[in-house]
Structure 1
Amino acid sequence: MLYRDPAVLVIDKPAGLAVHAGPKGGEHLMLYLDALRFGLNRRPELAHRLDRETSGCLVLGRTAKALAALGELFATGLAGKTYWAVVVGKPREEAGTIDYALKKREKKFGWRMEVDRSGLASLTEWRLRGSDGRLSWLECRPLTGRTHQIRAHCAAIGHPLVGDAIYGRGTGTLAGDRLMLHSRAIVLPLAAGKPPIRAEAPVPEHMLAVFQGCGWASS
């Protein structure tokens, strides 16, 4: 548990755990929500989603009123989301904004998000935090909430995420075969006149060595 109050929970979702049941079944977060009641009559519900292989901060609403308010924050881009990613190569610039509309495309072997002018407006701010020359640690702030946004945007600028089986095939051999994307922090200005809710998720074990190799020094 990263944060808890009467209205909101922020948990540290492990990589590999889906938030919803999939068509093939298997373990998912919804199976465990009853254990997160902490004295309330209703179980908390998801305020947003993370991909199965993405770890880190995940926000849950504990009341109907909180869920509605959280939904508005995420829908309007007022929820401050910070992700850490390890990508292939090193960007030429130190920071930038990726402004590529994204559209869902059905493929023979599944679906993916692709850059398309007729798609939904999508903005991602990024900053280079460190690099070993072969791999780089990026801090990404999605200003919109499109599915696979960071993964598709980084691939579109020539720096796919390590371990991304959809947008960066073949990158898994560079640092293990797991997706290197972590929801590092969340800021939620939920109540007017009160400080925003803040939470930060520790870097998971399977990512530690890679981030450290790119210059991160854990405290």
Structure 2
Amino acid sequence: MFDYRPPDTEPEIIYSDDDLLIADKPAELLTVPGRRPEYEDSLLLRLQKEHAEILIVHRLDMSTSGLLVLARNRQSHRLLNKQFSERKVKKTYLAVVSGKLQSIRGSVNFPLICDWPNRPKQIVDQNQGKPALTHYQVLDYDESSDTSRIELTPITGRTHQLRVHMQALGHPILGDDLYADEKTYHQADRLLLHACRLEFSHPQTGEALNFWLPPPF
């Protein structure tokens, strides 16, 4: 059992129409309720106080902040889910990681599987893991702190994919309580991972939608 202390910060709605909502999820807030009563507080329940009809389409890790799309009716929910399952939605994240990456851009193609004795942690498993692909690009390197600001584009959507892939490269994300070494974990007061961009088609009109949200770090 973990010590869940949801933040006072409320999720902000940055876009709304008859079919969907785009919300900014605060770090350390669950996307959906957990199984135990003490894990009930979540982005979904907070937003349902004003928008009882909304349905979850995808999730962000509790410690990750940023853009999340929710459906406002069942037809839009089905069509948005279809875009996600067919990998037609482009998700982009910003992160700050330990060290200087050797290449300015590249890909991480390590299969992942749940580390059952230590769940919810995930591990790289070349034999039994599910395919997982992440593209990355270095935006900046800070020599004084020996950290890199990077852009991450997950092609697949495995649990903790970005966090495990960066650890596997030897560049864990700052503030990561599951995958970073002690020094890297204490370099930030939160996980420095933020869902900054969402690109997809409107479920009813087909219009191309592109949302950008700068990181709070």
Please tell me the TM-score bracket, short chain as reference. 0.7 to 0.9
Which residue does the alignment assign to 2:24? 12
Kindly indicate whether the alpha-carbon contact (under 8 Å) linking 2:174 and 2:185 is maintained by their aligned counterparts in 1: yes
Q: How many residues align?
A: 199
Which residue does the alignment assign to 2:113? 103
Shift of 1:24: 6.4
Question: After alignment, is 180-189 or 23-32 more displaced?
Answer: 23-32
Q: How do 1:33-182 and structure 2 match up within 5 A? A: 33-37=47-51, 42-107=52-117, 109-117=118-126, 118-133=128-143, 134-170=146-182, 171-174=184-187, 176-182=188-194
Change (3 A) 1:164 1:177: same
Which residue does the alignment assign to 1:200? 212
Is the partner of 1:25 in helix, strand or coil? helix
Length-normalised TM-score, structure 2: 0.86
Kindly indicate whether the alpha-carbon contact (under 8 Å) linking 1:73 and 1:190 is maintained by their aligned counterparts in 2: no
Is the partner of 1:30 in helix, strand or coil? helix
How large is the Cα RMSD of the aligned pairs?
Answer: 1.7
Kindly indicate whether the alpha-carbon contact (under 8 Å) linking 2:98 and 2:173 is maintained by their aligned counterparts in 1: yes
| 1:2 equivalent in alignment to 2:14 | yes
Kindly indicate whether the alpha-carbon contact (under 8 Å) linking 1:36 and 1:44 is maintained by their aligned counterparts in 2: no
Q: Which residues of structure 2 form unaligned runs of 5+?
A: 1-12
Which residue does the alignment assign to 1:214? none
Change (3 A) 1:32 1:193: closer
CA displacement, residues 16-71 of structure 1 (integer Å, 9 cap, x when unaligned): 1111223361421232232342xxxx521111000111001011011101111111
Is the partner of 1:2 in helix, strand or coil? strand
Shift of 1:105: 1.1
Output the amino acid matched with 2:58: H
Change (3 A) 1:24 1:94: farther
Kindly indicate whether the alpha-carbon contact (under 8 Å) linking 1:102 and 1:114 is maintained by their aligned counterparts in 2: yes
CA displacement, residues 170-190 of structure 1 (integer Å, 9 cap, x when unaligned): 11222x231000000100123
Shift of 1:195: 3.0
Shift of 1:193: 7.3
Kindly indicate whether the alpha-carbon contact (under 8 Å) linking 1:33 and 1:43 is maintained by their aligned counterparts in 2: no
Length-normalised TM-score, structure 1: 0.85
Output the amino acid matched with 2:152: C
Query: Separation in 2 of the partners of 1:157 and 1:24?
Result: 37
Q: Which residues of structure 1 form unaligned runs of 5+?
A: 208-219
% identical aligned pairs:
34
Is the partner of 2:194 in helix, strand or coil? strand
Which residue does the alignment assign to 1:32? 46
CA displacement, residues 125-171 of structure 1 (integer Å, 9 cap, x when unaligned): 10000010301011000001111010010111111100111111311
Shift of 1:191: 4.8
Shift of 1:192: 8.3
Change (3 A) 1:194 1:64: closer
